Amino acid sequence: MQDPDLTAAAPRRCDQSSVTAVGGTQVLQRPQPGLSSRSCAIFAIMQRILAALAIAILFHAPCAEATSSELQIIVHISRQQMWLLQSGTHAYLGPVSTARRGYRTPTGKFRPLRLERVWYSTRYDRSPMPYSIFFHGGYAIHGTVESRKLGRPVSHGCIRLSVANARLLFKLVQSRGVANTVILVRN
């Protein structure tokens, strides 16, 4: 049986590029347009494996001192990207979507306020917000099934990422603890 979270996060087009960074080494994954559906499926699986590997490295990174054990979630609004930093190891988590015109995503340094594996917006038509990490009032980092919109500012202010990446991030924050997690949102 397939994991519905991973199925929902599969890319819809096979001609998109992405960059994965593990331990400071960047790997560009650029498929060729017009790949067969089998090649596209293999590419999607490889992308998920690389993302999971990057997170796994962070899960098992040694914590030498208190300050280096802190997990940093770094969101670049202008780039629409999310990075993780743990014990000097950077990992690219993937594209995000932040606030569209007329809305704002708060910037600054935050700590997670609460984690909600299953949540529905109380403000926007009970929209699903799986694997929510609330960090400033009603603002959260959460998964979205609209993965084709990632990389563009389309939200009401929350930080959206693929459901698979949101699930990995949620588990990482749970394992490190909210007291050892910092969220940095930058323009």
> 108-110 and 181-186 as β-strands: parallel, antiparallel, unpaired?
antiparallel
Q: Which of 14, 40, 136, 158 is labelled catalytic?
A: 158
Amino acid at 162: S
142 flagged as catalytic: yes
For the question of residue 63 being annotated catalytic, the response is no
DSSP label of 179: G
Please name the helix (run of DSSP H) or strand (run of DSSP E) that holds residue 51, with its range, or none: helix 37-59
- Cα dist from 80 to 3, 32, 95, 99, 112, whole Å: 26, 23, 6, 10, 20
Given the residues 90, 136, 142, 156, the one annotated as active site: 142
Which of 163, 152, 100 lies closest to 130 in space, CA to CA? Answer: 163
Residues catalogued as catalytic: 142, 158
